[in-house]
Amino acid sequence: MRRAPYVIAYAIATALIIAGLIYGIRSSWGQGDNKSGASSTPTARPVRYMSSDGIIENIERRLTQHQGQQMKATCPKRVPTTVGTTFDCKVYFVGRTDVIAAAHVKIGVRGEFDWKSEPKVKSTPTPSPTPTS
């Protein structure tokens, strides 16, 4: 009769292990209701913005040095600091209103940025063919 308490203890331990395995499998495979509040989707971080003033100054200074004429750039006032964010700035000669180039900017880590300019191609009208008789 002394074996009866051991048998009951083994049965209870086995039941607890099986229940734990079932719970673990259901939790990790996402079966059943997720009442714990845990989510498998990452939480969204708030977007942080920075002023584009330093970017504008850099573009104007470098293009003025390259062109030998005073240049002006306009960019969005505030841009996201998220790595990989891209945006365009318009480039003008000072005192003129026609856009002569676009500066394509890409945000890097810790607010660093890289940019390259591309001249705006002015379309020239195609001459119409001369009528032949």
pLDDT tens string 81-126: 999 999 999 999 999 999 999 999 999 998 899 999 999 876 555 5
| The pLDDT value given to residue 75 | 96
Compute the distance between CA of residue 131 and CA of residue 128 in angstroms, rounded to an integer.
9
The contacts found for 80-84 with CB under 8 angstroms, 24 or more apart, are 80/47, 80/48, 80/49, 80/107, 81/47, 81/48, 81/49, 81/50, 81/107, 81/111, 82/47, 82/48, 82/107, 83/107, 83/108, 83/109
The Cα diameter of the chain in Å comes to 125
CA angle 13, 15, 18 (to 5 degrees): 110
Query: pLDDT category, 130, cuts 50, 70, 90?
Result: low
Query: pLDDT category, 32, cuts 50, 70, 90?
Result: very low
Residue 24: left (phi > 0), alpha (psi -120 to 50), or beta? alpha
